Amino acid sequence: MTSKLKVLQFICPTGFYGAERWVLALAKHLDPSTVSCDLAVTMEPGQKPLELVSEYKKLNLGIHIIEMKNKFDLGAVARLAKLIREQNIDIIHTHGYKSDIIGVLAARRAKIKCIVTPHGFENAKDFKLRSFIWLGCQSMRFAHKVVPLSQQLMRDVLSMGVKPQNALYIQNGVDLSEVEAEPIPVRTEPGKKRIGFVGQMISRKNIRDILDIFDQLHKKQPNTELILLGDGDARQALEDYSKTLDCKAAIDFLGFRDDRLSLLKSFDLFVMTSTLEGIPRCLMEATAASIPVAAYDIPGIDQLISHEKTGLLATLGDKKTLLAYWEKLLFDPSYVREITENAKQFVYDNYSAQRMAVEYSDLFEEITKDS
């Protein structure tokens, strides 16, 4: 590479979840001598300050705010294209439906290369949301490269009409140094077993199944508690539902927390009941922290967890079996030691952010060769 490439990471943040943390991890591990990696985010009226922006500032990299007059302001395309030209950006790298639509259009207007990284697809029921998601998926077909985070997402984007030569699989990565650096917290009630979840509270996460399974567990094992970290449009309905359960006093919805990793390390079991996933960052962090994992066996999760080797997986919707797996991992310490050691080694061997950043750097160089 003869000169430093200028890459613009573009995302319309909904919080500080997997996609936002992924962008931060990539930027942190790219070689600054070959790639300059700025960040552009949208800001809607009344939107709270963005955790991603405050964390990105710590990297001493460029940050740009694209003001939005409303939730989907098409004027943002022109503002983003103007920014691209002013900053002499070579490549825009987009993350999320709205970011993909705006970013692809701005790239075409500014005549630069565009990379789209799908982090997961939403199986929403709302017609308007489904239409918006469809439009975002269609925009991927006009990117120079679509780079999904999992093999299932690769199959998905090909089925949506992305040409095979325009798609590339780069295995997901996570900044595991954050997990290592976080000390194990001292529990105030060490005898109580703590089940935990971290992630967005949206339909595809299927958190109601977690509540149902915990309700059954708590009847048998009253010395248990459930901690739910994260926020989203399904949170209120989930909280309302939890109040109808006998175990309601043992369930805590903590929302978004800055001490997420500390709380994660306090879990005795990490659980997921998603119906659709990319490759969940929270799952990689849990295994890196030596927390046992029980989840439904779906694409994306199955790339991280091998049943009875690095965790326990039940058929999607089989709450009875998943309950049995929760009990196994909570109350069989010798089995847990073996399975968590295997899981930690697997994620360190295969999902480092440094390896991922090297592969993206190669891609950035490759797609600008013909520019």
pLDDT digits (tens, 9 = 90+) for 53-106: 999 999 999 999 999 998 878 899 999 999 999 999 999 999 988 899 999 999
Alpha carbon distances (Å) from 295 to 9, 79, 192, 260: 31, 42, 21, 20
87 CA to centre of own chain: 28
Region 332-345: mean pLDDT is 95
pLDDT at 299 over 60: yes
What is the average pLDDT value for the chain, to the nearest integer? 92
How many domains does the chain divide into? 2
Higher pLDDT, 281 or 301: 301
First CA to last CA distance, the chain: 13
Give residue 371's pLDDT. Answer: 57
pLDDT at residue 189 in the model: 80
Same domain, 231 and 159: no
Same domain, 209 and 326: yes
Strands across the sheet with 113-116, in order? 63-67, 35-43, 5-11, 91-95, 113-116, 145-146
167 plus 236 within the same structural domain: no
Q: What confidence score (pLDDT) does residue 122 get?
A: 67
Supply the pLDDT for residue 249: 97
Mean pLDDT of 281-296: 95
| 280 and 342 fall within a common domain | yes
Distance CA 165, CA 161 (A): 11
Q: Is the pLDDT of residue 243 over 90?
A: yes
Which of these ranges, 39-43, 122-126, 213-217, has the smallest mean pLDDT?
122-126
CATH of the domain at 200: 3.40.50.2000
Q: Which domain holds residue 33?
A: 5-173+352-367
Query: Do 142 and 203 share a domain, yes or no?
Result: no
Band of residue 369 on the pLDDT scale cut at 50, 70, 90? confident
Between residues 126 and 198, the one the model is more confident about: 198
Centre a 10 Å sphere on the Cβ of residue 92 and count the other Cβ atoms it contains: 30
Give me the mean pLDDT over the 132-147 stretch. 86
Regarding whether 357 and 339 lie in a shared domain, the answer is no
Pair 329, 182 in one domain: yes
Q: Verify that 208 and 234 share a domain, yes or no.
A: yes
The pLDDT-based confidence of 1 (bands split at 50, 70, 90) is very low
pLDDT band at 128 (very low <50, low <70, confident <90, very high): low
Question: What proportion of the chain, given as a percentage, has pLDDT over 90?
Answer: 73
User: Quick one: tokens of 304?
Assistant: 């991280």
Asked if pLDDT for residue 370 goes beyond 80, the answer is no
Q: What is the predicted pLDDT for the residue at 124?
A: 61
